[in-house]
Amino acid sequence: MAKVLIATEKPFAPVAVKGIKEILEDAGFEVALLEKYTQKSDLLNAIADVDAVIIRSDIIDAEVLSAAKNLKIVVRAGAGYDNVDLEAATKKGVCVMNTPGQNANAVAELVFGLLVYCVRNMYNGTSGTELMGKTLGIHAYGNVGRNVARIAKGFGMDVYAFDPFCPAEVIEKDGVKVLNSAEELYTTCKIVSLHIPATPETKQSINYALLSKMPKGGILVNTARKEVINEEELEKLMADREDFRYMADIKPGNADVLAEKYPLRFFATPKKMGAQTSEANVNAGLAAARQIVDFIKNGNERFRVNK
């Protein structure tokens, strides 16, 4: 009987765990649950004898993979898989998948939660501004970016996007204006929402040179990954530009300094909250469970992300 581990340092909503278990148990699999673990050794022990694992931002590195003697598949219930060592997985013959799009609406809604909080001066009683009529730049037009565009139109925003990997006609079809470079996006838009993945090419790519192009009153909202920001240069920019604000769903390394120096221009959620809704947990978690069943029973590798 195949054994599947749900390893989530940040747990799914109980309704999602119930649904995941049902799918796996109906398929005849055994399910083990490891939630809120604080030690890597807990994961190393729990993964030792399982055939499959469902994770979120949990780190699956070479050490974890080598402890997982029977592992055949890792499914990241979510979009980004920068937390999995793909090369080590491939070497071990382990298939890695994600569940693209399943939590995209939740993340996109949080973008606007952060933005309204920001432009209303963190609800401190002073007069803020509105989102209507403002320029919004979507940096990368994937599943989250698309949902951000849809919601932004409801707010009456003027929406632009830059994505070198997405055909212009896909973006234009959504009524979004296409820009041809990151420089153009940051120069044009007062508000930029980041949706690029963390890859060797994108890490630290959001730097002083780019951010300093933003119009007066610029706001950067980051629900993607902290690694894409050059944090030292962001700090310098915030020191140089009193009008610039940064809202993040992923606490930067220098969060304490920024929070102390710029209490009304910087906010970060204490824990990544973008995908933390029961709907997103159900969508991504159940998709992960179904993908595991289909992989183990039928060899379906549709959502495989490693070679």
**Residues of the shown chain interacting with ligand 3PG in the complex, contacts defined by CB under 6 A:** 10, 56-57, 78-80, 103, 272, 274-276
Rounded distance between C-alpha atoms, residue 113 and residue 94, angstroms: 38
148 or 237, CB closer to ligand 3PG?
A: 148
2 or 79, CB closer to ligand 3PG?
A: 79
Shortest Å, Cβ 271 to ligand 3PG: 9
**Helical packing angle, 104-119 and 278-298, nearest 10°:** 160
13 or 67, CB closer to ligand 3PG?
A: 13
Rounded distance between C-alpha atoms, residue 81 and residue 305, angstroms: 8
Rounded distance between C-alpha atoms, residue 85 and residue 199, angstroms: 12
Shortest Å, Cβ 5 to ligand 3PG: 16
55 or 118, CB closer to ligand 3PG?
A: 55
131 or 284, CB closer to ligand 3PG?
A: 284
Rounded distance between C-alpha atoms, residue 237 and residue 220, angstroms: 12
The answer to whether residues 20 and 286 touch, using CB atoms and an 8 Å cutoff, is yes
Shortest Å, Cβ 276 to ligand 3PG: 6
Shortest Å, Cβ 103 to ligand 3PG: 5
Rounded distance between C-alpha atoms, residue 163 and residue 138, angstroms: 8
3-class SS string, 33-63: EEECCCCHHHHHHHHCCCCEEEECCCCECHH
Radius of gyration in angstroms for the set of CA atoms belonging to the chain, rounded to a whole number: 20
Shortest Å, Cβ 147 to ligand 3PG: 13
158 or 249, CB closer to ligand 3PG?
A: 249
The answer to whether residues 143 and 171 touch, using CB atoms and an 8 Å cutoff, is no
Percentages of the chain per state (helix, strand, coil), in multiples of 5 = 40, 20, 40
Rounded distance between C-alpha atoms, residue 74 and residue 66, angstroms: 13
Shortest Å, Cβ 281 to ligand 3PG: 8
276 or 291, CB closer to ligand 3PG?
A: 276
Whose CB is nearest to ligand 3PG?
78
Shortest Å, Cβ 182 to ligand 3PG: 21
Burial class (CB in 10 A: 0-12, 13-18, 19+), 235: buried
